[in-house]
Structure 1
């Protein structure tokens, strides 16, 4: 059996605290998971980063490597950006690559890597006019967008409800075929 490589790239939204269970589920589905997080998500998960690296068997990526340094991960077969904040989505769609996560997925479009994004935004952020534009830009670029009736539906500010990780991993399976 060929090893399938999933890059799971996360922004700082509350579902990021569930990431160990998501990694384990992806591994049960046969994926070798490489975990990358935005700087704020790394701050939120600071105490868990060593355990997450041990769980995945790969270092958790949070920033760009220096020129000339070797890549520490195998090449991705599929990329899932989830949870994706409004900030991450808008920066990705606009090509603002000031973080490694956004830089990788922006370049991934040009490399033709199969990618999906599942936002995690509340209904107030969802009203900002740039968010639908950014999601449409990503769709047009070939990114599978899991939003609205096709994925995550915005919640009221402060409302807590389950994040549809299972749906996201089902889409990863589809993209990995």
Structure 2
């Protein structure tokens, strides 16, 4: 999905060894539709040749400020850029930006961007001991107080490694989205639940969590504070790990009760039944009857407990009457799909609201975008 279509991103590269990752980052931004213009410090150009980024961006790379005042053309008032993305950013560059020092092309771009008030995203990368330095930590807090979005590094092997490209791109998308969901607390249930039959076997569904992931990442792009209750891990959001429907119910109601929820999207294939569990492993080879006991409907309890804006999902086109009943009960939107969509990367969905019905066919990213557009 071309989430950055029509946007110009200045990719500013400084002298961290993580600069070698910027060719892939530039490609990732362009796949999302962005026009990418690279600017490099002299130290960065000693790590990765400017020609590599010229190839990755399809544009000449800026390695110095000339009489064309490139920093003003891109990041000044009325400039061509929509976002300044500094990735990777060294401790040196972070300190210079925090103190308003301009002695490299990147710091000059940063000062100009801050003065204009345009979106700025910064991804630190350095040794862990440098990242832990009180001055560096203080400088990062100062930059955050100025509205700069700091993409936290991965701290491992004694290094504060630059964040994954997927995470950096998500922050870039969020920075230029206008953040219509800023300040909203979004709670999403996602993926399958697994109910134990014995100590070995479980009863589950074919759900993969792709729809929940698409909804969560789109909500993040739009500026929301996102919590996902599921058995997986998604980037850029708070993940609460659960396995069974009972654990999911407990976690969801805890978030509703203790933190509050503005929007609830019930995208998980929550178990409708739980088998009566047998201790140990049931011996194989003989016929077996398993008693299934019905489970409470989490969505009904959430709607009654905290009355959030609710997006419900119903599986099966024949469920439209029940979907309308859910709208009458207070759901803002009911998303209806058919079993073949479960686990697939794309499909056909019917978005039902009190105002009417919208049919959407496409990738789950595109469907998630349509769902959030229908709520805004």
* TM-score normalised by L of structure 2: 0.42
Equivalenced residue count is 168
Q: What is aligned with 2:136?
A: 131
Q: In the alignment, is the contact (CA less than 8 A) between 1:120 and 1:154 conserved in 2?
A: no
> How far 1:127 sits from its partner (Å)?
2.7
- Evaluate the alpha carbon distance shift between residue 60 and residue 123 of structure 1 in structure 2; reply closer, same or farther with a 3 A threshold: same
**Structure number with bigger Rg:** 2
Taking the aligned partners of 1:32 and 1:76, their CA distance within structure 2 comes to 9
> How far 1:153 sits from its partner (Å)?
3.4
Q: What is aligned with 1:38?
A: 41
Q: What is aligned with 2:105?
A: 100
Q: In the alignment, is the contact (CA less than 8 A) between 1:121 and 1:155 conserved in 2?
A: no
Question: What's the RMSD between the two structures over aligned residues?
Answer: 2.2
* TM-score normalised by L of structure 1: 0.85
Residue-by-residue CA offset, 1:77-133 (whole Å, 9 max, x unaligned): 011111111001011111110011011112211101101111002211023221011
Runs of 4 or more above 6 Å deviation: none
Taking the aligned partners of 2:169 and 2:110, their CA distance within structure 1 comes to 18
Q: Secondary structure of the residue that 2:65 maps to in structure 1?
A: coil
Q: Secondary structure of the residue that 1:82 maps to in structure 2?
A: strand
Q: What is aligned with 2:27?
A: 24
Residue-by-residue CA offset, 1:117-175 (whole Å, 9 max, x unaligned): 1100221102322101111111111101122xxxx133444x59674221111010111
Task: Establish whether residue 4 from structure 1 lines up as the match of residue 46 from structure 2.
Answer: no
- Evaluate the alpha carbon distance shift between residue 169 and residue 130 of structure 1 in structure 2; reply closer, same or farther with a 3 A threshold: same
Taking the aligned partners of 2:48 and 2:165, their CA distance within structure 1 comes to 18
Q: Secondary structure of the residue that 1:36 maps to in structure 2?
A: strand
More strand by share: 2
Q: Secondary structure of the residue that 1:44 maps to in structure 2?
A: coil
Taking the aligned partners of 2:121 and 2:52, their CA distance within structure 1 comes to 25
Q: Secondary structure of the residue that 1:154 maps to in structure 2?
A: strand
Q: What is aligned with 1:76?
A: 81
Taking the aligned partners of 2:99 and 2:170, their CA distance within structure 1 comes to 27
Q: In the alignment, is the contact (CA less than 8 A) between 1:124 and 1:156 conserved in 2?
A: no
More helix by share: 1
Q: What is aligned with 2:174?
A: 174
